[in-house]
Amino acid sequence: MASPESTPTPTANVSPSSSQTLPKALPKVARRSPFLPTTLETALLSIYPAVLLLGSLFALLDPSARNAPYNATTQSHHAETAPSYFAKKSNIFNKFFVKQGWAWVTFSYFFFLFTHPSAGPALNITPKRIRGAFRYGIVTLWWIFVTQWFFGPAIIDRGFRLTGGQCELVREAEAGNVDMDDTRQVVTAFACKAIGGKWKGGHDISGHVFLLVLGSMFLFEEVFHAVFRSQKKKEQRTIFMLDGATKSAEVEADPSGNLSVERQAYWTLGAKIVLGVAGLSVYMLLMTAAYFHTWFEKFTGLVVALGGIFVVYFVPRALPPLRGVIGMPGL
């Protein structure tokens, strides 16, 4: 009989490695929503409310601006008592830059688009340039709808009328020489001024704020994404694929992109002109915030402008069919 010491002790059938702790699967990191701005876009978008707030505070705190007579109908200071050169509608920057704002945006953008190496050899018509032209077309259409024509009066004019605004021929009405019922039927600010009237009484979305925000943010989106993508910066934008998966926009980058050019070459003359136009737009936005319009009119101008930017630069990230037509800058 075997002694107790010699009796083998039953053991579980365990492999040598089973006693080691198996590594746990790393949790999947949730990707940024395609609708959320990147770090760069967040910084750019924050500029606009900050500039409007700064300008509005200046108008409240500066004694010369606060005490200067203000015409609520024209939403500006009287030229004779304007507290600053920039408070006059006749200032050279307002006349030749802001009033012609979309022409400056158009020229600078297409000069950049057709000369920047990220879109292919200069002046060649490439798929990137065609998609860039489509994006410009949509942004321009939004500018037309808001300020020029929207199946009749522009959105600004329609909004003014819907909030109780109308055309009044003040001087002639006071003299009893005009039927106010007729002049109230004028449906655009341009037509009202053309017949010598004043456009007053409703909410006037700031066309200056709208133009300056829309134009500058459009240019910022185009140039920064193109240049940083060309310099192989980390891509933070995400997109929805056809199967619903969220992936980095990197997956749709053009593998044939011209990335052999030296880094400095991407800050081309066209890119610098675009930044110059966008930078001057932001400065004139500050002047507008300081000397023109009420805070609510400036706010609605900002919101309407950013609505157009959202449609062109954020919605396509979630809609592959739309992205296939207008693309994304830099990809």
Return the H-helix or E-strand segment holding 223.
helix 207-230
CA–CA distances in Å: residue 109 to residues 113, 140, 207, 219, 277: 6, 12, 21, 7, 10
Return the H-helix or E-strand segment holding 110.
helix 101-113
Q: How far is the C-alpha of 83 from the C-alpha of 86, rounded, in Å?
A: 8
Q: How far is the C-alpha of 136 from the C-alpha of 27, rounded, in Å?
A: 41
Percentage with pLDDT > 90 across the chain? 57
Tens digit of each residue's pLDDT (9 = 90 or more) over 293-303: 889 999 999 99
Tens digit of each residue's pLDDT (9 = 90 or more) over 79-124: 888 889 999 888 999 999 999 999 999 999 999 999 999 899 999 9
Q: What's the mean pLDDT when you consider all of the chain?
A: 84
CB 263 within 8 A of CB 32: no
| Residues with a known catalytic role | 208, 293
To the nearest 10 degrees (0 to 180), the angle between helices 207-230 and 101-113 is 10
Residue 168 phi/psi, 5-degree rounding, is -125, 125
Q: Picking from 132-146, 179-193, 300-314, which range would have the lowest pLDDT averaged per residue?
A: 179-193
Q: How far is the C-alpha of 65 from the C-alpha of 81, rounded, in Å?
A: 10
> What 3-state DSSP class applies to 294?
coil
Cα radius of gyration rounded to whole Å, the chain: 29
Those residues whose C-beta lies under 8 Å from the C-beta of residue 58, and which sit 6 or more positions away, are: 65, 289, 290
Task: Flag whether pLDDT at 48 surpasses 60.
Answer: yes
In the structure, what pLDDT confidence band is assigned to residue 5 with cuts at 50, 70 and 90?
A: very low
> What 3-state DSSP class applies to 76?
strand
Averaged pLDDT, 283-297: 93
Percentage with pLDDT > 70 across the chain? 81
Identity of the residue numbered 102: W
Q: How far is the C-alpha of 224 from the C-alpha of 235, rounded, in Å?
A: 12
Task: Flag whether pLDDT at 21 surpasses 60.
Answer: no
CB 237 within 8 A of CB 314: no
Residue 70 phi/psi, 5-degree rounding, is -125, 135
In the structure, what pLDDT confidence band is assigned to residue 144 with cuts at 50, 70 and 90?
A: very high
Question: Which parts of 157-268 are beta strand (E)?
Answer: 166-168, 198-200, 238-240, 246-248
The position carrying tokens 């089973």 is 18
Q: In the prediction, which pLDDT does 240 show?
A: 95
Task: Flag whether pLDDT at 230 surpasses 90.
Answer: no
Task: Flag whether pLDDT at 13 surpasses 60.
Answer: no
Tens digit of each residue's pLDDT (9 = 90 or more) over 233-276: 889 999 999 998 999 999 988 776 544 455 557 889 999 999 99
Antiparallel, parallel or unpaired: β 246-248 and 238-240 = antiparallel
CA proximity to 131, closest of 226, 216, 203: 226
